[in-house]
Amino acid sequence: MKFRPLRGLTAVAVASALVLAGCSSDNKEDEKENPTPSQSSSQPSNADLTPTTPEDAKILEGVTFTAGKDGKAPTDIKVDADLTKLSTTAARVVVPGEGEEILNGDYLTANMSSVDKDGKITESTYDMKAPGTLINSGIQTVPQIVRALEGQKVGAWLTFGIPPQEADEATGAPASEGGLVIIEIVDTQRPWATGTDKKVDDASLPKVTLDEAHKPSIEIPKDYKGTDELQVVVLKEGDGATLTEESYLHAHYTGWQIDGSQFDSSWDSQTGLPTPFPLNGVIKGWTEGLSGQKLGSQVLLIIPGDMGYGEGTGFDEQNRPLGDLIFVVDLIATN
């Protein structure tokens, strides 16, 4: 499936409170200076996330609407609610979904409509025909939305309310009057490759196996010598959008040296989530090897040293492994 960020929806309710895919890094230019993707935030469990209080949920009960059908925006919106009384951001499921179950960490395709106090839609992804992407994680999306989506299914409709906010000198955030957003969960994507398995019979290649959590491990052939040129092997073929060198990719990955020593893995990061990065801001073997691949795919990359961190043995001054490298990369989403 193709994921798109929520572009153009600039209502303060969304811009200041919803952390959308593509906004998980404050400075993409900084990421281009690091040839390896990385994560640093700690991933909280849902039990640690702040739920919407009963009092705030009661306020949101004053927001009613008729859910749209076949990709249409909600209608008959009535706002009999005083959002200025909200204690903090709040979310409430108005219409349960009937589709696939939503899991923690999923990438959610969502339509969103910013609504004023009179129930008028002021901005909407329906008008742009471009749903946004929400990562169902407490470090990527406001906790109240993640908690509201517990046990929910695709097709659910939510109301999301934000009280007025004072200016924050520390962050530079301006004061706002608060706002209201109606959210429709259109689809979900697991945070691992979901493409079709491809048969690989080449015994000269490292053998990849997955554990129950979909994390890869490899078995190196005896007397393995690495490679003189980039090798790209599709292990699972997705049916999503095709990557280009200009893509900003969300991917799970693990990297090994040719002796089988693991040196990096998003699966083992503090968040345990796929990592976002610009495809033209990483090592050459990634840029060339992943360009042209489709979202939903899992790809084995065997990269010569001159397309990685340099030829040689051991590690460079930045503690990056030299010589040939092996990666297994799950292509999750772009924006």
Architecture of domain 12-189 in CATH?
Roll (3.10)
Confidence of residue 20 (pLDDT cuts 50, 70, 90): very low
Q: Please state, in angstroms and rounded to a whole number, the distance separating the CA atoms of residues 335 and 322.
A: 31
Give the distance, in angstroms, between the CA of residue 180 and the centroid of all CA atoms in the same chain: 23
Phi and psi at 322, nearest 5°, equal -90, 165
Question: What is the rounded CA–CA span in Å between residue 220 and residue 206?
Answer: 5
CATH 3.10.50.40 boundaries in the chain: 12-189, 196-334
| Mean pLDDT, residues 8-34 | 37
Kindly report which listed range (107-116, 174-183, 217-226) carries the lowest average pLDDT score: 174-183
CATH assignment, 196-334: 3.10.50.40
Q: How far apart are CA 8 and CA 281, in angstroms?
A: 25
Supply φ then ψ for residue 182, to 5 degrees: -105, 130
Residue 171, pLDDT score: 78
The residue among 23, 29, 31 whose CA lies nearest residue 6 is 23
CA-nearest of 102, 332, 83 to 214 is 332
Is 7's pLDDT higher than 70? no
Residue 44: its pLDDT value, please?
A: 56
> Which range has the worst mean pLDDT, 83-87, 130-134, 183-187, 283-287?
130-134
State pLDDT tens for residues 263-286: 999 999 888 889 999 999 999 999
Please give the pLDDT value at position 9: 34
pLDDT in the model for residue 272:
85
**Three-state DSSP class for residue 49:** coil
- pLDDT per residue as tens digits for the range 147-198: 999 999 999 999 999 998 887 788 777 777 788 999 999 999 999 999 999 9
Q: Over the range 77-113, which residues count as b (16 or more CB within 10 Å of their CB) and which as e?
A: bebebebeebebbbbbbbeebeeeebeebbbbbbbbb
Q: What is the mean pLDDT of residues 64-88?
A: 94
In whole angstroms, what is the distance from residue 9 CA to residue 6 CA?
6
| pLDDT value, residue 6 | 35
DSSP H/E element including 126: helix 125-128
Question: In this predicted model, what pLDDT tens digit does every residue of 222-260 receive, in sequence order?
Answer: 989 999 999 999 999 999 889 999 999 999 999 999 999
Integer-rounded Cα radius of gyration of the chain: 22
Residue 31 has pLDDT above 60, yes or no: no
